[in-house]
Amino acid sequence: MSLLAIADLSVQFESRSGTVPVLDHIDFAINTGERVALIGESGCGKTVFGMSVMRLLPSNARITGSALYAGRDILRASEREMQQIRGKKIAMISQNSAFALNPVLTVGDQIAESLTLHTSCRGEGLEREVIRLLTSLGIERPKENMQKYPHEFSGGMRERILIAMALACNPDLVIADEPTSGLDALVKAQTLRLLKSVMQDRTLLLITHDLGTASALASHTAVLYAGEIVEYGPTHELFRHPMHPYTQGLLASSPSAGFHPIPGMSPAPGQVPHGCRFCPRCSSAMDRCNSTHPSLKKSGNNRQVRCLRYD
Ligand SMILES: Nc1ncnc2c1ncn2[C@@H]1O[C@H](COP(=O)(O)OP(=O)(O)O)[C@@H](O)[C@H]1O
Ligand code: SF4
Ligand SMILES: [Mg+2]
């Protein structure tokens, strides 16, 4: 059984100028032990997806569909139930470590917060646990460093502290949103190595626009375009033999492939083409791609693709 099974998830935002659809009928599952990356260009709805699962979207968001976690639909859970789930069962490593940490609390207090909320750890036991977490994330002199404030650390160290906070209560599922963005190449490589080792036996939803991060960490990858999943499969297969023209374009546009950008731009939310949403940018488009909306279909062993060429 899947640890998290999302079915028919749609998210829209109400704004003064009308309703803006961002995610459209998403089906998505993570089994225990899988590390699934959700990739796609900036603005395609990756963060909104993660926030939907955490039930942390702002009040102008309208969510429909279901998200079964251990058999319970968390989209229908009360806020009280979500407080039991967030941090304890499902924990998030938020985007942008500079803002995700509280500037007026020491990092030790911030890590202890979640432990105090969800476990019976107190006093010396609590301090020992914070020290153990910091040590396991390669933070030297943990006793001294836990007394410091976030601004006293580098970006890479703050990222480690965020990871320590997420792992504090040994959650079933970790959601990491752009865990390597804003880090320079050397620190990024170190953070990736660290994430790889600490996530080895865990279940991870990795949200990233960075293909290198996805290929380093994820067992499976889902590709999001204009609010829809357009391709899914085991990461090494999907990267070696991308099926969807958008995935092919993403790979060709990566720095390691020589930076060949996909022509055009993603459609603005609410202004998606009638047929295939990628059609205006697709070099493989056929006549019927303009008028027929492809569905996500199984293709071979554990792969799925949304493209009329594979019908
Ligand atoms: N609170 C909000 N109100 C209206 N639109 C929003 C809100 N939050 C996000 N969006 C829109 O949702 C889309 C997806 O955003 P996001 O999930 O942050 O993209 P990504 O993480 O893939 O870069 C964007 O077009 C963004 O403008
Ligand atoms: S359905 Fe047509 S336009 Fe869409 S990705 Fe496939 S070939 Fe390109
Ligand atoms: Mg984002």
Residue entry with tokens 């899947």: 2
Which tokens belong to 130? 């914070």
Q: Output DSSP code: residue 75.
A: G
- For residue 292, the CA-to-ligand 1 centroid distance in Å is 26
pLDDT for residue 256: 85
Residue of 178, 189, 185 whose CA lies nearest to 95: 178
pLDDT for residue 182: 87
With respect to residue 215, please indicate whether it lies within any of the assigned structural domains: yes
- For residue 296, the CA-to-ligand 2 centroid distance in Å is 12
- For residue 99, the CA-to-ligand 2 centroid distance in Å is 39
With respect to residue 240, please indicate whether it lies within any of the assigned structural domains: yes
Ligand showing the shortest atom-to-Cα distance for residue 231: 2
Q: For residue 18, give the amino acid letter.
A: G
**Which of 15, 42, 48, 206, when mutated, tests ligand 1's pocket best, judged by the most ligand atoms within 8 Å of its CB?**
48
Residue 242 in contact with ligand 2 by CB distance below 6 A: no
Domain count, the chain: 1
Residues with CB under 5 A from ligand 3 (ion): 46-47
Alpha helices, DSSP H, located in 120-154: 123-136, 142-145
Residue entry with tokens 């963005």: 181
pLDDT for residue 190: 95
Residue 20 in contact with ligand 1 by CB distance below 6 A: yes
- For residue 129, the CA-to-ligand 1 centroid distance in Å is 36
Which residues have a Cβ under 8 Å from the Cβ of 196 and sit 6 or more positions away? 216, 217
Q: 171: phi > 0 → left, psi -120 to 50 → alpha, else beta; which?
A: beta
With respect to residue 132, please indicate whether it lies within any of the assigned structural domains: no
Closest-CA residue, ligand 1 atom 5, reads: 13
With respect to residue 295, please indicate whether it lies within any of the assigned structural domains: yes
Domain residue limits at 49: 2-89+171-310
pLDDT for residue 104: 96
Q: Output DSSP code: residue 262.
A: P
Asked if residue 114 lies in contact with residue 125, where contact means CB atoms within 8 angstroms, the answer is: no
With respect to residue 139, please indicate whether it lies within any of the assigned structural domains: no
pLDDT for residue 58: 97
Closest-CA residue, ligand 2 atom 8, reads: 285
> What is the domain-level CATH number for residue 264?
3.40.50.300
Residue of 130, 83, 82 whose CA lies nearest to 106: 130
- For residue 262, the CA-to-ligand 1 centroid distance in Å is 21
- For residue 22, the CA-to-ligand 3 centroid distance in Å is 12
**Which of 248, 282, 293, 299, when mutated, tests ligand 2's pocket best, judged by the most ligand atoms within 8 Å of its CB?**
282
CA distance readout (Å), 265 to 11, 111, 228, 271, 287:
21, 41, 16, 12, 20
With respect to residue 212, please indicate whether it lies within any of the assigned structural domains: yes
Beta strand 304-305 with 297-298 is antiparallel
pLDDT for residue 162: 95
pLDDT for residue 214: 98
Residue 88 in contact with ligand 2 by CB distance below 6 A: no
- For residue 48, the CA-to-ligand 1 centroid distance in Å is 6
With respect to residue 79, please indicate whether it lies within any of the assigned structural domains: yes
pLDDT in tens, the chain (311 residues): 799 999 999 999 999 989 999 999 999 999 999 999 999 999 999 999 999 999 999 999 999 999 999 889 999 999 999 999 999 999 999 877 778 899 999 999 999 999 999 999 999 999 999 999 999 999 999 999 999 999 999 999 999 999 999 999 999 999 999 999 989 999 999 999 999 999 999 999 999 999 999 999 999 999 999 999 999 999 999 999 999 999 999 999 998 888 899 999 999 988 999 999 999 999 999 999 999 999 999 998 899 999 999 98
With respect to residue 121, please indicate whether it lies within any of the assigned structural domains: no
pLDDT for residue 94: 84
